[in-house]
């Protein structure tokens, strides 16, 4: 059954990955070409005062559009893009693979929590009551995997290139390693603790909102493991050492050079402390609104699928039953899941735009699905395993079908996914291969880099002069004979059914995609 669940989750994530979502969102274009740069040179070309400057070797962060972000997605993508070539599918492959692995990680964590072996640690023992390690027991682990597999928001986040999707996987692996330490052989415990530290460090590094949430979740783990400081220090010092080794430099960078983005969107910007606190509380509460959780999600079409919220509406009764089980704090996982659920939206609530925000609160995953899985287990205890399996199957099939229908709608939503720049470049190349061609659009340089794929060494040395297509700043006159796509914005509005858009060689005509560009 686990194999069937994984296959379903893979189908929802990999089917027509290069075409759904349509086009290529600007951040994806940057991540794809940056991955190619890192693979071939180990460096990234950043824009400084209009000039391209190569970073130091293997940079930890990349600057794009005035914001410093982690390069975790680009590093993970580099081997795929380098070996299989730069394209839409290869650029998104890491997101899909990460989403698929999260299904297995949630299953494994549920198995370990349901075994309850780590609770012996809390009580003063050390032996696992479950011989043989990760052995599937009961309905709960399968339900956890199934809910993650068809979770509509997690499915969509697994289909486009953004670093946030890596955080649930790495944090879940870290938690899995922590609760596994007490139940593995003594000689393996330090290695397992080290794995936990690396998982938490990767989650902390991977996405800016996680840098506030992960430390809070580690307190939840401390509570889950019993809070015996001396014993925990003896067992988990490799975890702490590795986590702080990587986290402290990242934190220092985030507070200094990497704070620009947060300062622009923070609730504290231009507000007194009282108003900022009130806005934070309102934002926090919005992430527990049933409309966000089950019915509509957030307002950004890139953050969820139609007909659903953060979770599928058919998951609602299971989640509510799972919440009921959290009242038993002596049960394995209850303390952790309480803190995980409550901490997940804290970073998102500190921002003033796009609230509720599914991406900034991505550490809801897979906690919400683990809670729903416990609800399936409770239903099995009340009504029997067969009834629970039927109910779970109906809920997951219904959610999966709605996911597929909603993905069909995503395929036609060109405006949200910036369909057009790459297509315009292809049309211009086909009709005017000798140039000059010009593209004036948001993140124009990364669309051109993605389309033309110049050798990164040439790009680092020559800048935009290495490109055939002209990348012009707003207000720059088009050169004589330049070809631009036209009519305005039609490429964005209709991603399907376009044969060849009208073309214009008149410099006085506005380009098809006249959006402000920072380059």
Which secondary-structure segment (H or E) carries 45? strand 45-48
Residue 329: other Cβ atoms inside 10 A: 10
Rounded to whole angstroms, the Cα distance separating 66 from 419 reads: 23
Question: What pLDDT, in 10s, does the model give residues 47-92?
Answer: 887 789 999 999 999 988 777 889 999 999 999 999 999 999 999 9
Looking at residue 513, its pLDDT comes to 35
Residue 500: other Cβ atoms inside 10 A: 9
Rounded to whole angstroms, the Cα distance separating 155 from 516 reads: 31
Residue 487 gets which letter from DSSP?
A: S
Question: At residue 373, does pLDDT exceed 70?
Answer: yes
Question: At residue 134, does pLDDT exceed 60?
Answer: no
Structural tokens at position 479: 């050169």
Rounded to whole angstroms, the Cα distance separating 118 from 112 reads: 8
Mean pLDDT of 458-487: 74
pTM of the model: 0.90
Residue 391: other Cβ atoms inside 10 A: 18
Residue 511 gets which letter from DSSP?
A: P
Residues 6+ apart with CB under 8 A from 248: none
Question: At residue 442, does pLDDT exceed 70?
Answer: no
Provide Rg for the chain, Cα atoms. Answer: 24
Rounded to whole angstroms, the Cα distance separating 193 from 442 reads: 45
Looking at residue 306, its pLDDT comes to 94
pLDDT band of residue 413 (cuts 50, 70, 90) is confident
Structural tokens at position 212: 């506030």
CA proximity to 441, closest of 487, 477, 474:
474
Question: What pLDDT, in 10s, does the model give residues 322-358?
Answer: 999 999 998 999 999 999 999 999 999 999 889 999 9
Question: What pLDDT, in 10s, does the model give residues 256-267?
Answer: 776 666 667 788
pLDDT band of residue 438 (cuts 50, 70, 90) is confident
**Residue 120 vs residue 506, higher pLDDT:** 120
């Amino acid at each position: 059954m686990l194999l069937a669940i994984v296959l379903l989750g893979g189908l929802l994530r990999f089917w027509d990955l290069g075409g759904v979502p349509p086009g290529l969102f600007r951040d994806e274009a940057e991540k794809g070409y940056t991955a190619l740069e890192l693979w071939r040179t180990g460096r990234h070309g950043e824009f400084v005062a209009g000039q391209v400057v190569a970073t130091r070797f293997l940079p930890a962060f990349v600057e794009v559009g005035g914001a410093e972000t982690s390069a975790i997605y680009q590093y993970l993508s580099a081997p795929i893009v380098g070996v299989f070539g730069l394209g839409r599918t290869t650029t998104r492959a890491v997101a899909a693979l990460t989403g698929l692995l999260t299904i297995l990680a949630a299953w494994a964590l549920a198995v370990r929590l349901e075994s309850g072996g780590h609770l012996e640690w809390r009580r003063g023992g050390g032996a696992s009551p479950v011989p043989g390690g990760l052995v599937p027991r009961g309905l709960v682990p399968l339900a956890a995997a199934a809910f993650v597999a068809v979770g509509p928001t997690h499915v969509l986040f697994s289909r486009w290139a953004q670093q946030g999707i890596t955080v649930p996987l790495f944090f879940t692996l870290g938690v899995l390693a922590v609760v596994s330490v007490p139940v593995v052989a003594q000689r393996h415990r330090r290695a397992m603790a080290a794995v936990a530290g690396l998982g938490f460090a990767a989650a902390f590094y991977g996405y800016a909102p996680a840098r506030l949430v992960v430390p809070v979740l580690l307190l939840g783990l401390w509570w889950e493991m019993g809070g015996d400081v001396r014993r925990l220090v003896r067992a988990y010092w490799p975890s702490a050492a590795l986590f702080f080794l990587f986290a402290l430099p990242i934190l220092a960078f985030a507070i200094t050079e990497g704070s620009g983005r947060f300062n622009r969107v923070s609730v504290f910007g231009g507000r007194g402390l009282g108003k900022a606190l009130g806005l934070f509380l309102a934002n926090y509460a919005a992430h527990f609104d049933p409309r966000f959780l089950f019915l509509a999600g957030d307002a950004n079409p890139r953050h969820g699928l139609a007909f659903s919220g953060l979770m599928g509406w058919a998951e609602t009764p299971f989640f509510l039953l799972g919440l009921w089980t959290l009242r038993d704090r002596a049960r394995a996982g209850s303390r952790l899941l309480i803190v995980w659920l409550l901490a997940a939206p804290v970073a998102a609530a500190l921002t003033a735009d796009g609230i509720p925000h599914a991406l900034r609160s991505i550490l809801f995953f897979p906690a919400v699905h683990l809670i729903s899985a416990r609800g399936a287990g409770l239903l099995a205890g009340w009504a029997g395993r067969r009834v629970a399996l039927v109910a779970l199957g109906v809920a997951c099939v219904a959610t999966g079908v709605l996911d597929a229908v909603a993905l069909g709608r995503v395929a036609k939503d060109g405006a949200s996914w910036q369909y057009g720049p790459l297509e315009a470049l292809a049309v211009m190349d086909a009709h005017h291969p000798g140039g000059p061609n010009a593209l004036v659009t948001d993140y124009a340089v990364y669309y051109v880099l993605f389309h033309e794929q110049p050798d990164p060494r040439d790009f680092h040395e020559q800048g935009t002069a290495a490109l055939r297509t002209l990348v012009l700043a707003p207000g720059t006159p088009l050169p004589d004979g330049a070809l631009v796509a036209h009519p305005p914005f039609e490429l964005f509005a209709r991603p399907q059914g376009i044969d060849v858009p009208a073309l214009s060689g008149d410099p006085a005509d506005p380009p098809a995609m006249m959006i402000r560009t920072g380059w």
